[in-house]
Structure 1
Amino acid sequence: MASRDQNFYLLFIFIIISSLYVFPASATFSHKLESAINIRRVNRKGPYIGLVTVFETEEDGFLSTVNFRPDPFHPFLDLSGRRFLIGKIHGKKVVYVRCGIGMVNAAAATQQMIDVFDVKGIVHFGIAGNINNSMSIGDVSIPKQIMNAGLWDWLNPDKAKGDDVAYLDIGNYNVPKGEGNNMLGSLGYSYEELYSVNGHTNSPQKVFWINTNQEWLHLAADLERMELVQCVNSSLCLPEKPKLVVGLKAATANIFVDNAAYRIFLYNTFGVSSSDMESSSVAMTCVSNGCPIIVIRGLSDLAGAQKGDNVVQKFGSLAATNAAKAVLEFIKKLPQA
């Protein structure tokens, strides 16, 4: 396997050649050259812990909670429209990025971080919807397995079901009953195709669950005793102290789940306790590259449980803060590079 230095020089040569062909003597070539040089300088100080969150509320909760110390020479690098912050938290070297909402953004930012920076693993964090009635708003879940709940086969109602993992028969939710079959039929939950450095080239493995890193989960187990935030402010508090749970299951899809019937279906069928729009994408990208991954999500709402607006508007910041506190404690537990 080529060393990181060899990979860098190959990338460096590729950038120069491609820039000469596409953008001769342009400012773009100069910008790419400068980026490549800065990346090289940053990676000399590695390896780093990669940190990936999603949107502004989570970022605000994180940066206001942790004592982030920017690198004095290269505090950030801007790549493909994203800003990667470089620095230290509790003396540990980190690279942080806000990826943006959805599975494509999550996978793109994660792959870019792995390709560009010398990272020894990635901590993905943010907020999520609660699917499990035994969990509560403000709790933090660190799942052991994550599924893509949005990889569907939308079946022809006149055809027999195939080899999907599970089925959602939409006709079971006809309201009112007795109006005939619902021609929307059924959804079949399909497998991911995992291309991996540990597999055979161009021979993806069919998987349904993506496993997070067992060693990091073991480290995170001690966090179950940590104290989490209970109040958004002096007039808005949760009825019980939030808890942190390690080892549950999570679902991801490009769907914001705010429907009680669908929440119950996900829990009863797959045993998942949280739902978000990025985690399986980050995890699958990491597993594909042989990069350790842990996911830390604060629960902001019980999907479909409330009337009117989703309570994520009330408790999203608290859930983000609790996730950030858990990330901080996990970083403390990681050994120095």
Structure 2
Amino acid sequence: MLKERIPLGIICAMPEEIAALLGDMTGIERRELAGREVLTGQLFGRPVAMIESGIGKVAAAMTATLLLDGLRCRAIVMSGVAGGIDPALAIGDLVVAQRLIQHDYGRLQAGGFTPFRPAVPPFGPGRNDYAFELPDGMLTRIHAALDGFTLPSLPTDLVGVDARAPVIKVGTIVSGDQFINDEDVRGRLQREFGAHACEMEGAAVAQVAEAFGVPAIVIRSLSDLAGSDSHLDFGKFVTAVAPTAAKVVERLVPVLD
């Protein structure tokens, strides 16, 4: 067990996402925490502990708990890729989560799906407090940190010469234990939750962070558009877009000071 306090915990679900940050990390030591490899060192001049969580809400929640309880981290950043939900967004764009929602937690009935706040029994009238929201003060600091910042363009052999410049959206990310590969589901997630992107971990990390009373920022580059071709786009773009999220991590880490 690691005894020292590491101020900032970094979670990535996949090795490609870890690799996007490793080039900026110095003084790396590889150690073990509850059977997980922990990379400790300096990232953008700050002491961090970085762990690959694996895919899904349970894996992410367990990893966040290890960082917050085992290392007593004072904040969490999750960096990686996601599927685009908002039709105005494109592969290579980036979403910073203002709201995080577990889109697969709630009551499934003949009339459809009713979301509930995670850990609350999904019975009785539907509730509207199922989202994990960033505090207003932190949201203001995020907007200030990203003001004037431009994302790098993806290679033209991937997106074509006519692709627009990537954009940053501060908005809603939904999380669930499914890889979304369906246009109808993509449309439902936008209609019901106002989602801009979907992934499989962020809202679970937010739930754990709230329980520990610490902030969590989730940063996601879009590797696919969560439609019928998402399984093809993901493999093609995941390595190319993961470094985009890493660049935004550098901008937003000071927000957590």
Q: TM-score, normalised by structure 2?
A: 0.88
Q: 1:333 to 1:146 in 2, by over 3 A?
A: closer
Could you tell me which amino acid in structure 1 is paired with residue 26 of structure 2?
A: R
Q: 1:309 to 1:84 in 2, by over 3 A?
A: closer
Could you tell me which amino acid in structure 1 is paired with residue 40 of structure 2?
A: I
Identity %: 25
Could you tell me which amino acid in structure 2 is paired with residue 271 of structure 1?
A: G
1:124, CA displacement in angstroms?
Answer: 1.1
Could you tell me which amino acid in structure 2 is paired with residue 192 of structure 1?
A: P
CA deviations over 1:159-209 (Å, ceiling 9, x no partner): xx6xxxxx3xxxxxxxxxxxxxxxxxxx33333227xxxxxxxxxx99411
SS in 2 for 1:144: strand
In structure 2, what is the equivalent of residue 210 of structure 1?
Answer: 132
2-structure distance, mates of 1:124, 1:258: 23
Q: 1:310 to 1:212 in 2, by over 3 A?
A: farther
Could you tell me which amino acid in structure 2 is paired with residue 58 of structure 1?
A: E
1-structure distance, mates of 2:225, 2:104: 19
Could you tell me which amino acid in structure 2 is paired with residue 209 of structure 1?
A: A
Residue 243 of structure 2 is aligned to residue 321 of structure 1: yes
Q: 1:82 to 1:264 in 2, by over 3 A?
A: same
SS in 2 for 1:119: coil
Residue 168 of structure 2 is aligned to residue 244 of structure 1: yes
SS in 1 for 2:91: coil
2-structure distance, mates of 1:268, 1:325: 30
Could you tell me which amino acid in structure 2 is paired with residue 326 of structure 1?
A: V
Which of 92, 98, 117 aligns to 1:191? It is: 117
Residue 207 of structure 2 is aligned to residue 284 of structure 1: yes
Which of 162, 186, 196 aligns to 1:273? It is: 196
2-structure distance, mates of 1:331, 1:242: 21
Q: Is the Cα–Cα contact under 8 Å of residues 92 and 154 in structure 2 kept in the other structure?
A: no
In structure 1, what is the equivalent of residue 124 of structure 2?
Answer: none
1:290, CA displacement in angstroms?
Answer: 0.4
Q: CA RMSD in A?
A: 2.2
Q: Within 5 Å, give how 1:1-337 maps onto structure 2.
A: 35=1, 39-40=2-3, 42-43=4-5, 46=6, 48-64=7-23, 67-70=24-27, 75-155=29-109, 157=110, 167=112, 187-193=113-119, 207-221=129-143, 222-232=145-155, 235-237=157-159, 239-246=163-170, 248-304=171-227, 306=229, 309-332=231-254, 334-335=256-257
Higher mean C-alpha deviation, range 83-92 or range 125-134? 83-92
Gaps of 5+ in 1: 1-34, 162-166, 168-186, 195-204
Could you tell me which amino acid in structure 1 is paired with residue 252 of structure 2?
A: F
1:230, CA displacement in angstroms?
Answer: 1.6
Could you tell me which amino acid in structure 1 is paired with residue 101 of structure 2?
A: M
Q: Is the Cα–Cα contact under 8 Å of residues 229 and 321 in structure 1 kept in the other structure?
A: no
SS in 1 for 2:87: coil
Gaps of 5+ in 2: 121-126
SS in 2 for 1:143: strand
1-structure distance, mates of 2:115, 2:34: 33
1:305, CA displacement in angstroms?
Answer: 5.1
2-structure distance, mates of 1:296, 1:309: 21
Q: Is the Cα–Cα contact under 8 Å of residues 82 and 97 in structure 1 kept in the other structure?
A: yes
2-structure distance, mates of 1:213, 1:258: 32
